[in-house]
Amino acid sequence: MKNETPAVSVIIPVYNVEKYLRRCLDSVVNQTFTDFELILVNDGSTDSSLEICQEYAATDSRIKVIDTPNGGCSRARNIGWNNSCGDWILCIDSDDWMELNMIERLYTTALSEEADIVACNIYSDNGAGVLNLLGYPYGPLEPKKEIYRIGGNHSVVWNKLVSRNLYEEYDIRWIPGVAMWEDLAVTTRLRFHSKKTVLIPDALYHYFCAQRDNICSREGKKYPKDQICVLNFLMEYFNDKNIPKKLYLKIENTLKQGVKQYVYDSTSPDKYASWKSMYAESNHSILSLCHIPLRTRLSIFIAYHTSYSTFSTIRSIALKLKGIKRLIKKIIIPL
């Protein structure tokens, strides 16, 4: 590198991704923008991921490899952050990849717009060659009212170039040990404190959704425990900042509904009762959470306001109607 301090630090936690890692690393080292450092944090991989990282580092002085015992994605990202020195931070996942001009587009936009955060749209790749655009619902600037919208592109960290100063000024890091909703705990605070967040409408990041468990250790997939931890953390954070609750109530209700979703699919009477009573104060809000499909919201709303037997009957009919709809499509479409 020409400069001792790179403009951008790219941080990638690595855990058992030997099958996808080269694709990811090639998309970074071949970027049109070259003033960056690449920090690879090997999170105790048991396959050849570490060897692949070391192979790339041997031929590119911009790459730093940190080998650490398995501790989870949040810990790995914190280690990467603590060992970075760029003015801007980009965290990506090791089975995803970028368009070759992604960093250049994000960085030049950040400077020209004097933004704290610059995000781009995302392609979702199911592994079968099918790309779906995961679009943002707002324009080139994120309105202040949107900072309380969470989920999807809003909450992920890997499509966002973030000013290092923003992390440092508000001491924002990942919650150690949390493996689900770990990004949400970070990006919600970053977006809240950002004076200006800019969106590039083009999809420059490829999210590989065919497999997600090997980015870093999921630590046994501790949900809804992790989600409850993030929910409590953010609510305490907003309280400590003396932010009026009416401003973050939508976040609170959305997070509570998200926690409840992990119990929702159960149809046993004992879990149904537990699900209904869990964060019962948020049950009334489900119809107003527009990021959730209307059909899902209506189904949950009915479940909240009926008995288990009534809900089971309605659900059974809905599943039958869904099956009939699929059958009709199979008959009609060929014609």
The pLDDT tens digits for 145-164 are 666 666 667 788 999 999 99
Determine, yes or no, domain membership for 245: no
According to the model, what pLDDT value does residue 246 have? 79
Which amino acid is located at 127 in the chain?
Answer: G
Most confident range (mean pLDDT) of 133-142, 227-236, 253-262 is 227-236
Q: What is the mean pLDDT of residues 297-326?
A: 73
Last residue of a domain, one of 171, 189, 208: 208
Whether residue 25 is found in the same domain as residue 165: yes
Asked whether residue 85 falls in the same domain as residue 192, the answer is: yes
The domain that holds 192 is classified in CATH as: 3.90.550.10
- Domain match, 305 and 185 both: no
* Consecutive H or E run containing 252: helix 245-264
Domain range for 151 is 8-208
Same domain, yes or no: 15 and 111: yes
Assess whether 273 and 191 both reside in one domain.
no
For the ranges 186-190, 295-299, 328-332, the one whose mean pLDDT is highest: 186-190
Residue 302 vs residues 263, 288, 295: alpha-carbon distances, Å = 16, 14, 11
> What is the domain count for the chain?
2
Task: Among 11-15, 88-92, 196-200, 318-322, name the one with the lowest average pLDDT.
Answer: 318-322
Out of 31-45, 73-87, 202-216, 249-263, least confident range: 202-216
- Choose among 261, 226, 190, 209: nearest CA to 73: 226
Tokens standing for residue 39:
């920090």
pLDDT band at 2 (very low <50, low <70, confident <90, very high): very low
Among the ranges given (121-130, 185-194, 260-269, 314-323), the one the predictor scored with the smallest mean pLDDT: 260-269
In a domain, 14, yes or no: yes
Better pLDDT: 330 or 224: 224
Q: Are residues 175 and 294 located together in one domain of the fold? A: no
Which of 167, 191, 208 is a domain's end point?
208
* Residue 135 covered by a domain: yes
**Average pLDDT, rounded, for the chain:** 83
Instruction: Name the more confident of 83 and 293.
Output: 83
pLDDT reading at 290 higher than 90: no
Residues 35 and 101 occupy one common structural domain: yes
Spell out the alpha helix ranges (H) of 218-307: 225-240, 245-264, 269-277, 294-304
Higher model confidence: residue 11 or residue 332? 11
Residues 226-235: tens digit of each pLDDT? 888 999 999 9
- Quote the pLDDT of residue 279: 86
Specify if 21 maps to a domain. yes
